[in-house]
Amino acid sequence: MKTIYCIAPPNEERRAYLEPHFTLVAEADLDDPKAWLAENGSGIEMILTSGFYGFGDHYLELMPDLKLVSTNSVGYDGIDARALAQRGIILTHTPTVLDAEVATTAVLLYLSCYRNFEAELANARTGAWAKTGNLPLPHTGDGRKVGILGLGRIGKATAAKLEAFDCTIAYYGRSKQDVAYEYYDDPIALARDCDALVSILPGGAATQHLLNKDVFEALGPDGVLVNVGRGSSLNQVELIEALSTGKLGWAGLDVFEDEPNIPQGLRDLPNTILLAHVGSATVETRWAMAKLAMDNLINFANGKPLISPVPESKGLI
Ligand code: NAP
């Protein structure tokens, strides 16, 4: 049986799925992973990782026969897919199966900002309602003009869900797409024309701090900003400044620059709704992602076509 080196620890369910096909080595079970790999790394062709665990360059030297890295995530900004491709190593990821779930998370954040939901929940749960009554009326999220930054798979699923709330959708991306929504080639112009922005941009150098004070100020004091893409795309220092001085209305965030750390400044603000990167985190969706990541490994081992290689790997297939 071929060996899979698991950078991301496989739980019982995933072990049960993989063990009929492979010998599993979980990095978390090794006392000294580098020493173990120095002795046993030759011959290992496959790695299972995740967006959280990523892929360090040292594996390339320790596993000279590596052929496939399967990441249990759609985002792969923590893995240099081009450098892998140059060495003939394929990278697979888990697109599509999480679109609906992440879109739901984006819409939950969007509505929670407009409806001041965290405070409303606390007002009921703490019994404050009986003592001090209802909170000031919040605003509606229905019927807004919403700008999507990154109208890809998840962006389109989010747009479709927001349309059910009678929202008008516009979008920013590097290129105009064949869709009915209005296109902007400038995120600041999009922010100026919209009530709210929802960002589902990937991470990496090209989107670093694309969401910054110019965008926040263009969105304005009543504006709502949601980010479910990557924390690196948003300048957190400038966001705290904009939210705390009233230049921006609200922020709903699922992703942060230095996860799992969330700056105290963001946690202290009453006009933020914060989640711990749970965009795709349901039993059903996480299993669908894991199954896709594992099926890529099984197909590869059996000489069958890979289901979801990243675009950078397509030249190798
Ligand atoms: P996708 O289908 O590849 O869509 C990405 C979109 O971003 C594309 O429409 C692309 O449009 C745009 N884009 C890419 N680079 C850009 C740049 N430099 N400037 C402007 N726009 C750019 O990806 P997806 O499956 O929707 O996933 C998107 C991201 O969501 C992932 O990369 C991941 O980081 C994040 N994510 C988060 C969670 C969570 O739990 N919060 C879960 C899953 C995914 P153009 O090519 O036209 O520019």
277 counts as catalytic = yes
Block means of pLDDT (10 residues each) for the chain, length 317 residues?
Answer: 97 97 98 98 98 95 98 97 97 98 99 98 98 98 98 98 99 98 98 99 97 98 98 98 98 98 98 98 98 98 98 94
Whose C-alpha lies nearest to ligand 1, atom 3?
152
Whose C-alpha lies nearest to ligand 1, atom 36?
229
- Give the binding-site residues of ligand 1, using a 6 Å CB cut-off: 74-75, 95, 98, 102, 150-155, 173-175, 200-203, 206-207, 228-230, 254-255, 277, 279-280
Q: How far is CA 95 from each of CA 153, 168, 280, 292, rounded to the nearest angstrom?
A: 8, 26, 11, 9
Confidence (pLDDT) at 317: 86
Query: Do residues 149 and 200 touch, judged by C-beta distance below 8 A?
Result: yes
82 counts as catalytic = no
User: What is the reported pTM?
Assistant: 0.97
Task: Name the token pair of 149.
Answer: 């930054």
> In angstroms, how far is CA 167 from the centroid of its own chain?
23
Helices (H), 254-282: 264-268
